[in-house]
Amino acid sequence: MANIITGLLVFVLPLTLSFLELRYSAPVVCIVATVAAIQEGYYILTKNQKV
């Protein structure tokens, strides 16, 4: 689910540049992408341990 949200935010990011500064919107996208990557890594690690 976090990957879908990250993809949506990355898609919408250029559209928001006309009314929202990049220094405010980029950190939000980066934080969400980092959390999504950590979550994906956790899923991969726990999936491999159950086998």
Q: pLDDT tens digits for 9-47? A: 999 999 999 999 999 999 999 999 999 999 999 999 998
User: What pLDDT is attached to residue 23?
Assistant: 95
Q: Which is nearest to 27 in space by CA: 41, 42, 15, 9?
A: 9
How many whole angstroms separate alpha carbon 32 and alpha carbon 28? 6
pTM over 0.85: no
How many whole angstroms separate alpha carbon 10 and alpha carbon 24? 14
| Strand spans (E) along 1-51 | none
How many whole angstroms separate alpha carbon 27 and alpha carbon 19? 16
